[in-house]
Structure 1
């Protein structure tokens, strides 16, 4: 699953390391589980 997310980042011109860092930080900081789709690579817009 992780490899798929990394490749999706690459297809969307997103740095996988930056994306992973940002989404994990968002989750730790209380990002709502009901809005988890916002953190997917195809919806990602920096900053999260």
Structure 2
């Protein structure tokens, strides 16, 4: 299940480690169950694209 969540993050352009840390922190701090849709990977901003260095 975790591997699936990590792959979903990658597909949505979200950095998995930061996403998981943020979601776990929010849950511990009492994020309301009625707003769980806000914690889904596609609700997060995408990672900025890396620029090639010549």
Q: CA RMSD in A?
A: 0.9
What do the CA deviations read for 1:8-43 (whole angstroms, capped 9, x no partner)?
A: 100111110000000000001110011111101011
Taking structure 2 as the reference length, what is the TM-score of the superposition? 0.76
1:36 equivalenced with 2:30 (yes/no): no
Kindly indicate whether residue 22 of structure 2 is the aligned counterpart of residue 4 of structure 1.
no
1: CA distance between counterparts of 2:37 and 2:2?
A: 16
Structure 2 CA distance for aligned equivalents of residues 44 and 31 of structure 1: 15
| Largest Rg, 1 or 2 | 2
More helix, by proportion: 1
Where in structure 1 do 4 or more consecutive aligned residues deviate above 6 Å?
none
Which runs of no fewer than 5 residues in structure 1 stay unpaired? none
